[in-house]
Structures are given as C-alpha cells and as structure tokens.
Amino acid sequence: MPLMLGQRVRAEISGMELEVIKKLGEGTQGEVYLVEGPDGYQAVKWYKPEQATTEQRSAILYLVRTGPPFGAAGKRFIWPRDLVTRTGSPQFGYLMNRIDTRQFAELGECWAHLKAVPNFSALCEISYQLANSYRALHLSGHCYRDISAGNLMFDPATGDVLICDNDNVGVNRQSRSQVWGTMEYMAPEIIRGEKDPSTQTDLHSLAVLLFYLWIWHHPFHGAREYRFHCWDIPAKKSVYGESPVFIFDPDDTSNALPRDPDYETANERWEYCPQALKEMFIRAFSDGVRDPDRRVTEGEWQTLFSSLKDSIVACPKCRAENFLNGNGKNGKCWHCQERLVSPPVILIRRPGTETRLALSLGTTIRRRHIASSSPQDDGSEIIGTVVAHPTIAGAAGIRNNSGMVWQCTFPDNSIAIVPPGRAVPLNPGTEIRIEGATLTITAPQD
Amino acid sequence: MPDTGEFHCTSNTGLGWAFGTSRTGSSHRSSNRPCEDAFALWSGSAGAAPCIAIAVADGHGDPRHDRSRTGSALAVQAAIEELVMFHRMHLHEVPQYIIRSEFRADFPRRICRRWREAVSEDAHRCDGGISRDTEPDNSVFSRYGSTLIAAAVMQETILTGQIGDGDLVLVRPDGSVQFPIPADTELLGSETRSLSSRDAHLLWRTATLDRGEGGVLIAATDGISDSFDGSEGPEFVKFIKSLVGRIGQYGVENVAAAMSGWLDHYSALASGDDMTLVFVLVSPAGIINGSGESFGDRIEESSGEF
C-alpha cells in the first residue's frame, strides 16, 4: 500500500516520527514522499511490496550504518539516512535529503527543453563530478550497479551533480542486488551472463552515461539497432552484449550511424567534441568493451574533464564556448566560424605535473589546480578568479580568493605580497607562488 | 481508425474500459476544413496479460502542414502498434521497474521512427517520385506534422508519453487530479513540439504510474483545455472533475452518448478548434473482473478497435 497524506511513519534508527506531507513522484521501485519531522522537510522512498524484501531491508540498514563516501564526492550521493517503517505494515522505505527540482534537472528534461541545456563548461563540471564521486564510491569498496541517466540530476548552470537511488549500492563482488540496471547501460559481460555487477562493470555504465551527456545518443545505437524492427530482448542482447560495436569506431564502421534525421544531433555533437574526448570514448567503447581491464578509469575521466574545462575560451563574436585547440576547426569558432583569438594562459607547475589554464573573465583557479585531489576533497575550492579592473577598461587581474597570502614576482623581478581579496594584474611573465605551486601568466600565442 | 462523430469504446476484462470521440471544430466546419485530430483505442491480451492502449493526435493544420490530417492518423496508428509490440515484449518475468525504464528509454525513439516510416510510405504513394530507398527530407515530414499522446494500461502499470500540446490527466478514485507529464512551459501561444520536429525523439515527455487504485485516465487534444483556461488551469480541472463526476452519477454509456454534443458546444462557444477526448476507466489493480464500477455502469460489449 502506498503511504497516505498525513500518515505518520517512523525512522527506525533515530526513532524520529515523520508525517507524510505529499507525494513527490513515482520511481521504478517505489514512491517518493515529502515528509516533515524534527529535522524539517526530508524525503522518503517507500518501496512497492514486491521490492520490500528482507534482503533490501538489510541492504538499507547496511548503507545507513556505512554512510556515503567522505568529503565533497560523497555529499553528491542522496544516501539512505534511516530505515523508515509504518506500524502494522511489512513495507518499508528509507529517509533521504530532498532534492530541489527547481535547481536540479534530469538529462531528459534538458533534451525536451523543459530545463536549460548545460553548456560545455557545465558539461565538463558534471562529467568531472560524476567521475570524482564514483571514484570515491569505488575506493570505499562499493559498486553502484545501476549507473544511468535516471539516477543523475544536475544543475545545468553550475554543473553541480546529485546521484540518486543509492539503495542499490553494494559491496564490490560480494553483495547481491535486486536491481541490475537497464540493459542499455549494462556492461556486455553482464548481459552475456558471464559476470555480476562490480566496480569494473560500473566503469562501462559510467562511460555510457558520459556519452549520453555529451552526444545525446547511445554509443551502440547505430545501423544495427536501426535494422531491428522488433526491439525485443534478443535484439537488445545482440546490440548491447553479444556483438557491441561503437557507432564512431574508426576501425569498424559496421555499426555507423544511418542516414536518418534521428542521428543528425549525435553527428553534430560528436563533431563538437574535442579530440581528446573522442579518443577516450573510442577507447571506452572499443578496447574497453573487448577487454574490461582496458576500460577508462574514473581518474582518467576526471583528469580529462578537468583539463578540458581549463581550455574553454569564449568566441569574441558570438560568445559560444570553444575548446582551445579542440573543437573549433582551423582556429575558428564552431558556431559562427569567427577566428578565435588565443587568450592568455596560466601555466601551473607543481611537483610532477604541469597544467595550462586558459584565462578569460570569470575563469576560476581551483584547489585541484595547485594540489592533488583526494577522495575526500575534490579540489573544487576556488583559489583565484579572473576579474575586470574596476576602473581601467580592458584590464584584468586574478583576485586572491584563498585565505593565504600570495607571493608575486613581476617581469621586472620586483616582488609583491598579494593578500586575500586583492588582485594580481594579468601581465605576461608574472609569477605567483601559492603553497608549493608556481603559476606563470603567459601571453596569448597565435 | 474511427470516423469522427462517433463515440467508440473498447474494453478489457480486468483492466477497464476505454472510450473516445473526435469532433470537427466549429471554425473548421465554417471554413470547410476537415477534422485534423485522430484517436485510436486498442485492447487485447498476449500471453494472458491484458493491455489497453490509447492514442490521441492533433495535426497542425495550416498550409505548411497540408497533410497533417494524414499525419495525425498515422501517428495514432503507429502509437498503438508500438505500444502493443512493447506489451508483447514484456509479458513474462520482467520486473515492473524494467518495463518502466525500458518504456522511457525506447518508446520515444521507436515511435518516432515508426511514424516517419509510415509517412515516408504515404509520401511515396502520394508523390510517386520519392524512392523507397531514400529518406525524404525534413520538409516532407513537416507536411504531416502532428502532436501525439499515447498511453498503455497494463496489469500493474500505466505508461504514458506525449510530444507537443494536449492534456493527459489521471483522476484517482479519491478525487485527486494528477497531470503525470510535466507541462512544456517554454513555448508560447500556439507553438508546439511535433513528431516532425528536429530531434523529435528527444522531445518526448514520459511518465509511468502505478495502476494502483485505478481511476479515470483522460487524454485530450488542446482544443478542449483551450476552451477553458489552458492545461492545468483551474477551470479545466473543474471540467475534468465534473466529467468524472458525471460518469459516476449517470453512467459511462450516458456520458459517452452526450460527449460529442458537449464537445461541439465548447468548440462553438470557445476555441473553435477540433476536439478529441479519450478516457479510460481504469479498474483497481488486482480486480479480476473489474470494470470501473466505482465510476459507472458496466458495458457488455466492446467495439471500435482501430
């Protein structure tokens, strides 16, 4: 039985009484309700009778006890906070934070133009945060088992991510689940019945989700899927499991996109992708399909999307985002074909790494640029921001948003201290030392 | 596909009853234009699992969409075929959550493709010059432009999908009114998404519901809500509630018999547009011989399958 408005339910571990305020929606496994309790408004996912099994109850209690992964990466998981029961009912659910659906969107809502479509910068951030969170989950010894667009919500403006429906998370290669995901996201070896879900199969699902985010299409929906008039289970097993071929595989065009209006957008969006991303997708859906050990790891995705975001420049004419040396052909804007002007770049050196960050108004330098990120800290703290000079038109500087004093060496070798809140002029040759990193502003190079 | 002017019904023991009618708008009649709406109903079983499928479409009906009457007819036919095929593919041992997620993932793409295939066939038949091997360009599809609302009532689940304007409403037995598919707030005035739009398969809005306690599922073209205060407007909701109330008070046969006259009246007084309304009396899940008794009388025979 579903819950009734005004009904009281109980959070088993905390002992809190909760009142059902309204139904928020229906998921595939149960309904979601807004509830009010001592901690204010929260949400309860209430399982359908067939999903409310003893195993699921144990799984929820395990997740409540374990908690989400630590740090920023873990905060993106809408994690079960308590087991919720109703007197006299064998059904149960779990308590979780509620989601602000005015801020966060599902991918399908963006496709249908019900919510804003994320730009390249937001797409990089969504992709980075996804990889970062799944890396943290996997490092904690868990696998998700049901990664799909249906479990992802994001802020189309900022790229902030929430990962929902975490009740299927389990211990890698040990616990079993009621839910194995939908076939279009499943790793081929699961479909073929050779393996159970694991962190390794999660990597395939993550790659499919990232492909959907960027290309708005499934990586195996090409000529083969097009030819199936009856899209039944044997057809799906064939396309996703038995002989999956990437639609943009340069060495095997047997499953290339047909000439049909359905595929125009996928073709266009693929062309907009920077080469480094195309190469990563090709590896994920060719080598990674044949050999699960060669799948793209979360860390590799994370590094890629961080560097892609750092290379975004705005077209001087139409303001469309372009990847520096990436998607614009022959140095021209992909949207209006205007010649792109190279921006100044900041070269960031720290032990063992060297990264480049294209600078334009609003560009942010984050902690991950100057220090290694960890599963507990995704390095998203803003250290510096490129801002316009308050009085001199066209002049800009990097404002110190950190809590530390920066030491700057100017091209004439003079040294200055830049306290928090003040800015360093954007002059080529200027060097900034922040903790162990050296940041050098370099002139535009055409 | 039923002719306009008649009220059609179909039934399936255990799931409920479906009814539909399509009326030529008063402004269409005065300018000698045909009704460009279409609807289709289907009920049946496969492997002892019953299903009711409904579809409602509204052809765009201006000179740029000069074949939209055919386009809407092909849309409801394609929708029923795709829903029935989907039902047949999910008969046994498929958990409900898989049925729901596969519907959301596959139906929009498959229905758009099926509609375009049907349009290509028709264009080939009408124009002759188009080779069967070459895909017509987008301007051909645009001539057939239409909206589409489709729904399937299955044993545990109600699957719904919509592209373009129109209304899909579920009134539960407790009187609560649900609009399961989120409104498209981005478009202004009479603009609408269409099966002929670029990326049509991405523009679908879908929702899946528990059959649960059943209720009355209503699908209607926008000519009806435009005669009130638009989709989800208080006056339109009042109309929906009164319709469900009348079913309970006077019985489905009487409401069905009167519906065409009511729609003609609203069209003449208000929008002037074509009007199509389909409603399904959904029996509560678990009722073996349910027929929506909580809303109306039983009807013994079914008719009007497309």
pLDDT digits (tens, 9 = 90+) for A376-394: 677 888 999 999 888 888 8
- Does the pLDDT of residue B283 top 70, yes or no? yes
User: With contacts defined as CB-CB under 8 Å, which chain A residues touch B209?
Assistant: 26
Summarize pLDDT for A263-314 with one digit per residue, the tens. Answer: 999 999 999 899 999 999 999 999 999 999 999 999 999 999 998 998 888 8
The topology under which CATH files domain A107-303 is Transferase(Phosphotransferase); domain 1 (1.10.510)
Assigned superfamily of A8-96: Phosphorylase Kinase; domain 1 (3.30.200.20)
Half-sphere exposure of B244 (CA within 13 A, CB side): 24
Higher local confidence (pLDDT), B48 or A264: A264
- Which of chain A's residues have a Cβ under 8 Å away from the Cβ of B198? 261, 264-265
Q: Which residues of A touch B110 (CB under 8 A)?
A: 231
Indicate the burial class of A351 (C-beta count within 10 angstroms; 0-12, 13-18, 19 or more): exposed
Q: Class assignment of domain A342-442?
A: mainly beta
CA distances from B152 to A2, B43, B82, B293 (A): 22, 9, 10, 20
Q: A193 with A237: CB under 8 angstroms?
A: no
| Residue intervals in chain A for CATH 3.30.200.20 | 8-96
What's the confidence (pLDDT) of residue B10? 72
CA-to-CA dists, residue B148 to B5, B72, B116, angstroms: 20, 8, 13
* Residues on chain A touching B184 (C-beta within 8 angstroms): 112-114
Confidence band (pLDDT; 50, 70, 90) for B6?
low
Q: Which of residues 208-247 of B touch A (CB under 8 A)?
A: 208-210, 212
| Span B141-168, pLDDT tens digits | 999 999 999 999 998 899 999 999 999 9
Residue B82 has pLDDT above 90, yes or no: yes
* DSSP-derived pairing of the beta strands A17-26 and A8-11: antiparallel
- Between A247 and B174, where is the model more confident? A247
CA torsion sign, B294 to B299 to B300 to B303? negative
Order across the sheet with B49-58: list the strands.
B37-46, B49-58, B148-153, B157-163, B205-210
Q: Which long-range contacts (CB under 8 A, 24 or more apart) does A363-368 make?
A: A365/A398, A365/A439, A368/A306
Neighbours of A156 (CB within 10 A): 20
Q: What is the DSSP string of A424-446?
A: EE--TT-EEEETTEEEEEE----
Q: What is the DSSP letter of A259?
A: S
Q: What is the pLDDT of residue B130?
A: 57
Q: Residue A224 is which amino acid?
A: R
CATH code for the structural domain at B7-282: 3.60.40.10
The dihedral formed by the CA atoms of B252, B257, B262 and B265, expressed in degrees to the nearest 10: 180
Tokens, residue A146: 């049901």
Could you tell me which residues come within 8 angstroms of residue A58 by beta carbon, excluding any fewer than 6 positions away? none
Give the sign of the dihedral formed by CA A27, CA A30, CA A36, CA A42: negative
How many Å lie between the alpha carbon of B199 and the closest alpha carbon of chain A?
6
Q: pLDDT tens across A162-212, in order?
A: 999 888 888 776 655 555 668 999 999 999 999 988 999 999 999 999 999
A 143-162: CB under 8 A from B: 148, 150
Chain B partners within 8 Å of A182 (Cβ): 98, 101-102, 105
Which of B177, B296, B297, B157 is CA-nearest to residue B225? B177
pTM metric for this prediction:
0.88
Q: How far is B36 from chain A (nearest CA, A)?
A: 25
Is the predicted pLDDT of residue B135 greater than 80, yes or no?
A: no
CA distance B201 to chain A (A): 7
| Confidence at residue B129, expressed as pLDDT on a 0 to 100 scale | 57
Secondary structure in 3-state letters for chain B: CCCCCCEEEEEECCCEEEEEEEECCHHHHHCCCCCCEEEEEEEEEECCEEEEEEEEEEECCCHHHCCHHHHHHHHHHHHHHHHHHHHHHCCCCCCHHHHHHHHHHHHHHHHHHHHHHHHHHHHHHHHCCCCCCCCCCHHHHHHCCECEEEEEECCCEEEEEEECCCEEEEECCCCCEECCCCCCCCCCCCCCCCCCCCCHHHCCEEEEEECCCCEEEEEECHHHHCCCCCCCCHHHHHHHHHHHHHHHHHCHHHHHHHHHHHHHHHHHHCCCCCEEEEEEEECCCCCCCCCCCCCCCCCCCCCCCC
User: Looking at residue A26, what is its pLDDT?
Assistant: 76
Distance of CA B88 to the CA centre of its chain: 20
Contact B85 A114 (CB under 8 A): no
CB contact under 8 A, B101 and A111: no
pLDDT exceeding 70 applies to what percent of chain B? 84
State pLDDT tens for residues A333-369.
888 988 888 888 899 998 888 888 988 888 889 888 8
Q: Taking residues A129-133, what's their average pLDDT?
A: 95
B30–A contact, CB cutoff 8 A: no
- Residue range(s) occupied by CATH 1.10.510.10 in chain A: 107-303
Report ipTM for this prediction.
Answer: 0.84
- Distance from the Cα of residue A371 to its chain's centroid: 21
> Is the pLDDT assigned to residue B3 strictly greater than 50?
no
A179 vs B contacts (CB less than 8 Å): 97
- Percentage of residues in chain B with pLDDT exceeding 90? 51
Confidence at residue A308, expressed as pLDDT on a 0 to 100 scale: 93
The CA distance from A69 to the nearest CA of chain B, in Å, is 27
Closest CA–CA distance from residue B125 to any residue of chain A (Å)? 20
Strand, helix or coil for residue A114 = coil
Domain segments of chain B as ranges: 7-282
Q: With the C-alpha atoms ordered B212, B214, B216, B221, is the resulting torsion angle positive or negative?
A: positive
Distance, in angstroms, between B284 CA and closest chain A CA? 13
What's residue B133's pLDDT?
59
Please check whether residue A23 is in contact with residue A13, taking contact to mean a CB–CB distance below 8 angstroms.
Answer: no
Q: Side chain identity at B291, as an amino acid letter?
A: S
Q: What is the mean pLDDT of residues B181-208?
A: 83
Q: What pLDDT sits at residue A174?
A: 63
CA distances from A232 to A226, A229, B85, B89, B152 (A): 13, 9, 9, 6, 18
Q: Is B172 on the interface with A (CB under 8 A)?
A: no
Which stretch of A37-46, A166-175, A279-288, A417-426 has the lowest confidence by average pLDDT?
Answer: A166-175
pLDDT at B7: 63
Residue B5 above 70 pLDDT?
A: no
The Cα B88–Cα A199 span in angstroms is 34
Q: What single DSSP character describes residue A420?
A: T
pLDDT value of residue A180: 61
Exposure string for A56-84, b = 16+ CB within 10 A, e = fewer: bbebbbebbeeebbebbbbbbbbbbbbbb
Q: Which candidate, A356, A324, A376, A360, places its Cα nearest to that of A440?
A: A356
User: Tell me, what's the pLDDT at B303?
Assistant: 29
Say which of B97, B113, B206 has its CB closest to residue A179. Answer: B97
Q: Which residues from A are below 8 Å from B89, CB to CB?
A: 230-233
| Sign, Cα dihedral of B211, B216, B222, B228 | negative
B4-22 core/surface letters (b: 16 or more CB in 10 A; e: else):
beebbbbbbbbbbbbbbbb
